[in-house]
């Protein structure tokens, strides 16, 4: 089954990192990628929420606002699309995602 | 530029869908389908390749956190927001304007919202 793993974290923490600290995190993610192998079918890092744009259409009128749709303490910073046999396997894998130790990983199964 | 489009449904819609029988849910889907079928030719005409996925009920989400080496698993979506993620697209668009045009054509934009997030390309 396809499971979307949403990686949430405190943006301020990432913003405060030096390049060396960021490279360390990237290295942890690369290690996770090697370990998870073909269980990862897609994934990406998102640019900060400052570059987010939210679009709504009401009564034929389009409203475009800057920023994410909801202001949360921890923001979505990236995702993986996982291919797992069930949600339990996805949960085991998600615990290995570096962001699980500092933020949170939300797992969402694909629609049946 | 690659963008992630997050398709957020109103939480009340999720609540309403949960009340539907299998047949009613199927009928509701079929009613929605023509709106989505207007989107595909537009994407093709614009030369936008979009990968996407429809997600299951956010109430069945699981949240994983690791603290001091211990894995904590909790139920439900990470954030209790008025709108909840129902699916996404990853698409290569010319610029943000094209991504906005794409977003406003997604049926979800009429009832919930579509959040556009540029991807970091390395």
Please write the tens of the pLDDT for every residue from B44-103. Answer: 999 999 999 999 999 999 999 999 999 999 998 998 899 999 999 999 999 999 999 999
Q: What is the CATH number of domain B2-118?
A: 3.30.70.1060
What's the pLDDT score for residue A69?
Answer: 85
Whole-angstrom CA distances from A8 to A38, A101, B47 are 23, 11, 32
Residues listed for chain A:
112
Please report the DSSP string for B57-118 in residue order: -GGG-EEEEEETTEEEEEES-SS--SEEEEEEEEEE-SSHHHHHHHHHHSGGGGTSEEEEEE
B108: confidence class by pLDDT, cuts 50, 70, 90 = very high
Nearest to A109 among B56, B65, B116 (CB): B56
**H/E run at residue A95:** none
Residues in chain A with pLDDT values less than 50: none
**CA R_g for chain B:** 17
What's the pLDDT score for residue A71?
Answer: 80
Residues in chain B with CB shorter than 8 Å from the CB of A70 are 79, 81-83
Q: ipTM of this predicted complex? A: 0.95
Nearest to A62 among B71, B87, B104 (CB): B104
Please report the DSSP string for A65-76 in residue order: EES-SS--SSEE
Cα–Cα distance measured from residue A52 to residue A65, given in angstroms and rounded to the nearest whole number: 9
Hey, are the CB atoms on A100 and B65 less than 8 Å from each other? yes
Residue A36 to chain B, least CA–CA distance (Å): 16
Residues in chain A with CB shorter than 8 Å from the CB of B60 are 109
Fold annotation for A2-109: Alpha-Beta Plaits (3.30.70)
B122: confidence class by pLDDT, cuts 50, 70, 90 = low
Domain residues of chain A, as ranges?
Answer: 2-109
């Amino acid at each position: 089954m396809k499971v979307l793993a949403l990686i949430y974290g405190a943006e301020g923490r990432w913003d405060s990192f030096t390049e060396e600290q960021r490279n360390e995190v990237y290295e942890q993610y690369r290690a996770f990628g090697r370990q998870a192998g073909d269980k990862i079918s897609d994934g990406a890092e998102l640019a900060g929420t400052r570059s987010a744009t939210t679009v709504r259409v009401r009564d034929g009128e389009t409203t475009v606002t800057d920023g994410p749709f909801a202001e949360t303490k921890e923001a979505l910073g990236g995702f993986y699309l996982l291919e797992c046999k069930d949600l339990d396997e996805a949960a085991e894998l998600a615990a290995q995602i570096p962001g699980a130790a500092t933020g949170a990983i939300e797992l969402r199964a694909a629609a049946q | 530029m690659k963008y992630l489009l997050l398709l957020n449904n109103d939480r009340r819609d999720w609540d309403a869908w949960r009340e539907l029988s299998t047949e009613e849910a199927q009928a509701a889907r079929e009613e929605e389908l023509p709106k989505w079928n207007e989107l595909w030719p537009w994407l093709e005409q614009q030369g936008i390749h979009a990968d996407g996925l429809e997600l299951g009920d956010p109430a069945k989400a699981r949240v994983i956190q690791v603290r001091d080496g211990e894995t904590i698993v909790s139920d439900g979506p990470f954030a209790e927001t008025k709108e909840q993620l129902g699916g996404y697209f990853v698409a290569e668009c010319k610029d943000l304007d094209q991504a906005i045009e794409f977003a406003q054509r997604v049926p979800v934009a009429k009832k919930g919202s579509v959040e556009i997030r540029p991807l970091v390309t390395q």
